[in-house]
Amino acid sequence: VTTRTNSGVAAPPAGPVAGGGHGGRGSARITLPVALLLIAAGLIAISFVRVVSGAGDLTSSGQIGGAIAAGVPIALAGLGGLWSERSGVTNIGLEGMMIVGTFFGGWAGWQWGPWAGVVAGVAGGALFGLIHAVATVTFGVDQIISGVAVNILAAGATAYLAKRWFTSGEAAAKGGNPKQSPPIDDIQSWTVPGLSGWLQGIERHHWFLVSDAAGILGGIVTDLSVLTVLSVIFFVATFLVLWKTAFGLRLRSCGENPVAAESLGVNVYRYKYLAVVVSGALAGFGGAFMAVGVHIYSQGQTGGRGFIGLAAMIFGNWRPGGLAFGAGLFGYCDSLQLRGGGPTVHALLLLAALLIAALAAWRAYRKSYLAAGVGGVFAVLLALWYVTTDTMPPEVVQATPYIITLVVLAVSAQRLRMPKAGGIPYRKGQGT
């Protein structure tokens, strides 16, 4: 329809954020070789920091495994947000849909096994997605308001049902209470035989770069949950469906220019409904992932991860690749916090100082001396902070992902491009 839409269609699914952090220019189009180079450069920087600071947990397999467990629910919520927002419906209700996912995951999970929990979580999330769709698409209610209402309803309904269903009879006998479900059985997880042990052996040597790569790979192949594999499949499928099929093009056209889409015969309402229900189902899957992962539903388990997923999606410029990167960052920080990562976050100060120094040098090379100066000062301050302290208070660790998100959004928001008609209610036939 317009050149803007076309650029949205042709670009690969990598956010410009990753490039921005490494000094890329405005039109960051990351091709595969560039992405690989960046990953390699990042790995070298991280292992350098690990060796200098001695914070071995930066790339340990335990840390990476924890990051995956923490990051996947965020990524799934973000993927839900991606579906919804690409069709032009802002979805603040992801948090509520995720809460419903954890609840039904626990409710069906303890009675009929983890797979039933996953199915119930997905169904519950989809149901709340449907509520959001009815309110926003059919009734044209403001999308943020409807999302807030969905969140309130989800929290209230699950608290009530948990008290009704987990405090009597068999459920109570097995350890259920008003804020918790009885335990859920294990879901299958794989440890790649041979490879995992071999990688852990290498990791223990603490060689520069090699052990870091082994730690990261080891974290991926040890105790890999089936649900994580499913999530990866969902990511790939989302990319293929939304960017490589006519269906996806139509769905995204509803988010860019619904009037034009309708004039070409697209049933805008139907696409929006479908996208928002899929969105709820994915958020519900993320919730069920959390409940099944820790073998229990507990009240407040999501802890705002639906919102964080939304932030990760914006961070990733409404693309699956960027979203995965953002969710990984959050998951990594979450995992640090769980593992008492004071020294590790402290080491990250050095990494941040190095990155900012590199950025400043790049700016100086491009003769933008003011930006280079500001960057240089920040880098020196961070380095000073690193040298003069030994560890980080747990509260700083806790706040790290939020602060990073704020900084990244502040730095790169102007390069982000949301779907053009996102957040605007659409009435059938309004263009005629």
Partner 1 sequence: MKKTRIDRERLVLALAAPVLAIVAAFVVTSLVLLATGKEPFEAFTVMAQYGFQPSQQVAIINKATPYYLAAIAVALGFRMRLFNIGVDGQYRLGAFFGATVGGAFSLPGIIQIPVIVLTAMLVGAVWAAIAGVLKVTRGVSEVITTIMLNSIAGSVIGYFLQPGRLGVLHKEANQVTTRDLPASAHFFAVSDGANGDIGGFVFVAALVGVAYWFVLNRTRFGFDLRAVGRCEPAAQASGVSVRRMVVTSMLLSGALAGLIGMPTLLQESYQYSTDFPTGIGFTGIAIALLGRNNPVGIAVGALLWGFLDISGQQLEFENYDQEIVGVIQGVIVLCVVLAYEVVRRYGLRRQRQQVGEELARSAAPSSDKQEVAS
Least distance to partner 1, CB of residue 134, Å: 8
Which residue, 304 or 431, is less far from partner 1 as judged by CB? 304
Compare residues 164 and 174 and give the one whose CB is closer to partner 1: 164
Among residues 38 and 134, whose Cβ is nearest to partner 1?
134
> How far apart (Å, rounded) are the C-alpha atoms in residues 79 and 73?
10
- Min separation Cβ 397 and partner 1, Å: 9
CB-CB contact of 85 with 422 (8 Å): yes
The answer to whether 38 and 19 have CB atoms below 8 angstroms apart is yes
* Cα–chain center distance at 32: 21
In the complex with partner 1, the residue whose CB is nearer, 163 or 420, is: 163
Cβ count near 185 (within 10 Å)? 13
Long-range pairs for 235-238: beta carbons < 8 A, 24 or more residues apart: 235/75, 235/79, 235/320, 235/324, 238/79, 238/82, 238/83, 238/320
CB of 97 to partner 1, least distance (A): 13
Looking up tokens 């700016």 gives 363
Cα–Cα dist 95/83, whole Å: 15
Quote the least distance from Cβ 418 to partner 1, whole Å: 8
The distance of closest approach from Cβ of residue 194 to partner 1 in the complex, given in angstroms and rounded to an integer, is 42
**With the C-alpha atoms ordered 375, 378, 380, 383, is the resulting torsion angle positive or negative?**
negative
For partner 1, the closer CB: 9 or 418: 418
Whole-number minimum distance, CB 181 to partner 1, in Å? Answer: 15
Each as own residue / partner, the long-range contacts of residues 233-237 (CB below 8 Å, 24 or more positions apart, any chain) are 234/76, 234/79, 234/282, 234/285, 235/75, 235/79, 235/320, 235/324
Q: Which residues in this chain contact partner 1 in the complex, by CB under 8 A?
A: 92, 131, 135, 139-142, 144-146, 148-157, 159-164, 178, 304, 307, 310-311, 314, 393, 395-396, 398-399, 402-403, 405-406, 409-411, 413-414
Q: Please report which residue ranges of 366-431 form alpha helices under DSSP H.
A: 369-388, 394-412
CA-closest candidate to residue 331, choices 298, 286, 299, 291: 286
Phi, psi of 176 (to 5 degrees): -80, 150
**Residue that has been written with the tokens 């600071």 in this structure:** 53
Query: By C-beta, is 142 or 223 nearer to partner 1?
Result: 142
Bridge partners (DSSP) of residue 225 are 189
Shortest distance in whole angstroms from residue 93 CB to partner 1 = 10
Closest distance to partner 1 from the beta carbon of 365 (Å):
25
Cβ closest to partner 1, residue 62 vs residue 140: 140
C-beta closer to partner 1: residue 158 or 238? 158
For residue 271, the surrounding DSSP H or E stretch is: helix 268-293
User: Minimum distance between the CB of residue 428 and partner 1, rounded to whole angstroms?
Assistant: 13
